[in-house]
A and B are shown apart, each in its own frame.
Chain A
Amino acid sequence: MLDPATRRRRTLGAVAWFFVSTLLLIAPIFTTVGNRIEPRVLGLPFSLVYVLGVVAVNFAVLGWLYATRSVDDDGEVS
């Protein structure tokens, strides 16, 4: 069980990351970095790979937060 200070720090860090990941998906970051055809990855255009990349990273971050019980792990009520 994580101590409350660590959990609080990780929760705030996670909220900050998801805020940043939203910015990665909209203008101006997406339109300057992601909105291009090259380099193609496995034949797919970069614009698609970029968006799927953000999905994959968010999936990994959520998985890590879940596995380490970093967010809201208060007692269960069944």
Chain B
Amino acid sequence: MKQFEIQNVKDTRSGFGAGLSELGKTNPKVVALCADLTGSLKMDAFQKDHPERFFQVGIAEANMMGVAAGLTIGGLIPFTGTFANFSTGRVYDQIRQSIAYSGKNVKICASHAGVTLGEDGATHQILEDIGLMKMLPGMVVINPCDFNQTKAATIAIAEYDGPVYLRFGRPAVPNFTAADQKFEIGKALMLNEGTDVSIFATGHLVWKAIEAGHLLAEKGINAEIINIHTIKPLDRQAILESVSKTKCVVTAEEHQLNGGLGDSICQLLSREMPLPIEMVGVNDSFGESGTPDELMKKYDLEAQNIVDAALKAISRK
């Protein structure tokens, strides 16, 4: 099992803030909007350095999505910022009609996704956002795994012409991907080549998958671990190549099992290559208050859950 060096421990939302700040310097077309969560979204630096390109919209997310759609018409590239819950479910019809159906080049940047939002509880912990957004025709859905990758993804989506949903989180997590990486939308990243089971993980669960890989190696199991940072478009080729070798699958995500990464991979494999698959995610439940670590444990989103799923998948071969 390959060793990964933890450079530091940082929140992915700060990766977004760093990426946006860099875009402010390099791309004059980039503008930003925020719904009264500038500090939480780490958009302060952009706001300070480019006040003429930053729009505080107040607690009015529906309007924010419409204004963003309008800004694209003059050739600008708007990045909207609020929590994932308010970036998706609250404004679904605005995104559907004014952005997705209208083909507008809006970057919907969503923080505090999943249970790791923590103490605020289920009202703020959206676990359905990937599903909501991936169902919209033409919407790109990205969930990077650490600070460096979130920064790189933020920079990359400015170069892509079309609507994008970029999902990231609140807690500090191991930052282990390369600081100078070039982010390629839709390109799965091989983290560890293996032969016994394919583990496809996204977002915060990528590091958990690496931890699981080490635990499995102690049991003599050689897991292939792939970071699926882009849920849509899905890297079908990378998934099929891996599974054709390992013959069984585990998916891992901080999201409902319904509608998430695992759901997308099940759809692919049931059509192209039906094989044993186990899924780690939240099983048709809302979250609750607690620390991020407590919640990850309670909702079965730990490395050990991935290990157990892998053993089960292997036993079903």
Q: Do A and B come from one complex?
A: no
Question: Which residues of B come within 8 Å of A, CB atoms?
Answer: none
